[in-house]
Amino acid sequence: MNFTLTTLGTASALPTVNRYPSAHVLNVHERLFLIDCGEGCQMQLRKQGISFLKLSEIFITHIHGDHIFGLFGLLSTMSLLGRTADLFIYAPENFSPVLESILRLFGAQFKYKAIHKIVSGDRPEVIFETKGSEVLAFPLNHRVSCYGYLFREKRPQRNIHKFLIEKYSLTLREIARLKEGENIIRDNGDLLDSGEITYIPYTPRSFAYCSDTAPFPELKNWISGVDLLYHEATFLEDNAKTAELTFHSTASQAATLAADAGVKKLIIGHFSSRYRDLSLYESEACSIFPETCLATEGKIIEIPLKKYSVDEN
Amino acid sequence: MNFTLTTLGTASALPTVNRYPSAHVLNVHERLFLIDCGEGCQMQLRKQGISFLKLSEIFITHIHGDHIFGLFGLLSTMSLLGRTADLFIYAPENFSPVLESILRLFGAQFKYKAIHKIVSGDRPEVIFETKGSEVLAFPLNHRVSCYGYLFREKRPQRNIHKFLIEKYSLTLREIARLKEGENIIRDNGDLLDSGEITYIPYTPRSFAYCSDTAPFPELKNWISGVDLLYHEATFLEDNAKTAELTFHSTASQAATLAADAGVKKLIIGHFSSRYRDLSLYESEACSIFPETCLATEGKIIEIPLKKYSVDEN
């Protein structure tokens, strides 16, 4: 039951010797979601040993080059590797001419369909779901149409405490109803309490990705309490004015959001090339939200399964 | 008087963990020529400490993705770095819609012009020159329109042996004529022999870039005697049939061409991802042409100035 984030790129507009443009992969139950696709993404995927062909959904935040220039190579390579399965690319509406150009100029030999799924709206909406997980898109506040994404496990079905099946001589019908959370009063007046007899096997995990954006009030509610928040921190506070003008955030602003939203852990990235010493980001953010870490190329953060502990003795 | 090749990428269609797609920089007298621009080229330029803004000419061989996907990022970064000088991109005619798409989708903020200079023709032609150097384009034999490039120093003006100026009491007018290679007969019947009194200060250096191509007969004449030949060697002989079908070359074919054309040194690249052990390329090519080396990311080959040695004693 994997729920793991791998950072592929941490640069903002200008890549540096060691920092690639934005790209992350989230593994949710062995389904791989690629989030943004900066130049060099396919090489970074190879370095991490992540199979291109396992990617079925790509989530693009916005059409600035440092978030999409890797798509040209990645989509071509998928074709060369023999992909035939549809590829779904979730992105704002203005991504359409980009994909159209990729396909027109380089897609003549593609044996698979690359399909643009338009994200829109002014509040979080579910845009994709599997049996066990779902993805919501929500608008950010950038210079162009830009969306963040919230990935979360669905609430799992309740499990029955096995030792109580015998104790109460539960029927299959009763077990099914109790698992749905229903309390049952038997003909003899006995109460079968779902909350006592069943349990939630694990607490759903969640990850929110917010890049690029200036701070805005609604965001803290939309990402409230997530286990892991990736938030851009293009600047430090010494460039707060530039951050404001370019609709970006500082490390302090990212950390303040994390604290206000009650998230468990914050990872910051999208660093401006003007800063060579990334520890400045860490110290600025940690002074506000200690559970902050820096995104670095190849960093892997696993959110462990939060299992319910069953003591059946 | 630099004449130096830097390899930025050695992969063919599929990049690997260590191999980037095609890109090279040739420094001719401190003028930087970028040859092909595969994905990640701008990061590779940074790693080599090569300034983006010093690039004034780019030479694209053909519009397959592994030779051009780095242009999207490189052109955008040039803009972000404040470029205002025109950028000239030499490429076959079918490059036009690619550049048009880059500019339409991502070029709204560019403060410089990116200008496509079409290369065409069925034999070598000078397409660009500076005071001391010139570039010729010549067609290759690939699946799409594809051109190779020959970079060479122009023949320098002859220098005068200074100790002979006094010996023959040469006038300024005589010196100028002798430097032009003219022999002079003075009124008294004395012969002033340009070949004796003047010398060529250095032998012009040359570099040819041939990727991607199947072998064809005319090529050896077009690149005859160059100091350094870069030639693609996508395959080894064990895949000669695939090479033929895809209009590529094997290491043996590249080496045979180098031998037939009497080049001084061969560098091979554009390696297929199917081969992990590159030493196989080296042994296959060196068995035919011992002066072969492998392209590797970051490799620098300097062709030293071949000065005329003047002994004035």
The DSSP annotation for A85-136 comes to S-EEEEEEGGGHHHHHHHHHHH-TT--S-EEEEEE--SS-EEEEE-SSEEEE
Chain B CB contacts of A101 below 8 Å: 101, 105
Chain A CB contacts of B77 below 8 Å: 13-15
For residue B35, the one-letter residue type is I
Chain B CB contacts of A105 below 8 Å: 63, 97-98, 101
Provide the token pair at A141. Answer: 């506040």
Chain A CB contacts of B17 below 8 Å: 43, 46-47
Which residue of B lies nearest to A100 if distances are taken between CA atoms?
Answer: B101
Q: Which fold has domain B3-156+200-307?
A: Metallo-beta-lactamase; Chain A (3.60.15)
What three-state secondary structure class fits B172?
A: helix
Provide the token pair at A148. Answer: 């963040």
pLDDT recorded at residue B306: 86
Active site residue B66: yes
How confident is the model over B45-74, as a mean pLDDT?
95
Question: Does residue A201 sit at the B interface (CB-CB below 8 Å)?
Answer: no
CB B77 to CB A105 under 8 A? no
Residue A5 phi, psi dihedral angles, 5° rounding: -105, 130
Q: To the nearest whole percent, how much of chain A has pLDDT over 90? A: 95
Q: What is the mean pLDDT of chain A?
A: 96
pLDDT by residue (tens digit) across B132-187? 999 999 999 999 999 999 999 999 999 999 999 999 999 999 999 999 999 999 99
The CA distance from B20 to B229, in Å, is: 20
Q: What is the mean pLDDT of chain B?
A: 96
Question: Does residue B43 sit at the A interface (CB-CB below 8 Å)?
Answer: yes
The pTM of the full predicted model, rounded to 2 decimals, is 0.93
Which residue of B lies nearest to A46 if distances are taken between CA atoms?
Answer: B17
Q: Give start-end residues of each CATH 3.60.15.10 domain in chain A.
A: 3-156+200-307
Q: Which residues pair with A129 in a beta bridge?
A: A134
Selecting among A36, A66, A212, A227, the annotated active-site residue is A66
Across the interface, of B15, B47, B106, the residue whose CB is closest to A46 is B15
pLDDT at residue B50 above 90?
A: yes
Q: How many CB pairs under 8 A join A and B?
A: 81
Q: To the nearest whole percent, how much of chain B has pLDDT over 90? A: 95
Angle at A82 between CA A77 and CA A86, to 5 degrees: 90
Chain A CB contacts of B75 below 8 Å: none
pLDDT at residue B129 above 70?
A: yes
Question: Does residue B70 sit at the A interface (CB-CB below 8 Å)?
Answer: yes
Chain A CB contacts of B107 below 8 Å: none
What is the number of residues in chain A? 313
pLDDT at residue B312 above 80?
A: no
The CA distance from A71 to A55, in Å, is: 13
- Where do we find the tokens 């196989």? B280
Across the interface, of B15, B66, B105, the residue whose CB is closest to A98 is B105
Question: Does residue B17 sit at the A interface (CB-CB below 8 Å)?
Answer: yes
Model confidence at B86, pLDDT cuts 50, 70, 90, reads: very high
pLDDT by residue (tens digit) across A226-245? 999 999 999 999 999 999 99
DSSP per-residue string spanning B118-150:
EE--SS-EEEEE-SSEEEEEEE--SSS--EEEE
CA distance A148 to chain B (A): 22
**Residues 91-110 of chain B whose Cβ lies under 8 A from any Cβ of chain A:** 97-98, 101, 104-106
CA distance B313 to chain A (A): 52
The CA distance from B92 to B63, in Å, is: 8
pLDDT by residue (tens digit) across B269-296? 999 999 999 999 999 999 999 999 999 9
- Where do we find the tokens 């149409």? A145
pLDDT at residue B234 above 50?
A: yes
Across the interface, of A39, A77, A104, the residue whose CB is closest to B40 is A39
pLDDT recorded at residue A59: 98
Residue A186 phi, psi dihedral angles, 5° rounding: -75, 165
pLDDT at residue A96 above 70?
A: yes
Q: ipTM of the predicted structure?
A: 0.92
